[in-house]
Amino acid sequence: NPEKCEIAQTQTDYLGHNVKNGEIRPSSNNINGLLNTRLPQTADEACKFVKAAEYYRKFIPNFSQAAEPLRKFVPTTRTQQKKGQKTIITLTDDELKAFNQLKQFLTTDMVSRLPNNRFPFKLQT
């Protein structure tokens, strides 16, 4: 559909990311939503926060370690998804620290740059 096309743009928003001048950043609207998340009161809320933050894991150093205390709220099977997710929770000190640390990471200037072919670069997997 030609009405939906944007041609010769210097920036665009795509799948929750802002792409501009060879840089990819998380969309500020999405990040603000995560930063305004209140302290989880149920296991379901904690799970949703972890999953939303995980979408930007490539911008958060050592995401798995930072989110580990909150991982127990993420169901791994359909049975777990169906039961217990509305359970009222009280976060422990480690879980509260992980929650705040993830929010802190989200406040930093997170950017991924495209490689500059004029200079050598190293790709690690």
Helix (H, G, I), strand (E, B) or coil at 77: coil
Per-domain boundaries in the chain = 31-109
Q: Which residues of the chain have pLDDT under 70?
A: 76-85
pTM (predicted TM-score) = 0.77
Q: Which residues contact 25 (CB under 8 A, 6 or more apart)?
A: 17, 18, 110, 111, 112
Instruction: Count other Cβ atoms within 10 Å, centred on residue 123.
Output: 5
Q: What does the pLDDT read at residue 86?
A: 74
Amino acid at 80: Q
Q: What does the pLDDT read at residue 53?
A: 92
Instruction: Count other Cβ atoms within 10 Å, centred on residue 95.
Output: 20
67: its two tokens: 């989110």
125: its two tokens: 């997997």
For residues 98 and 67, is the Cβ–Cβ distance under 8 A? yes
CATH 1.10.760 fits 31-109, yes or no: no
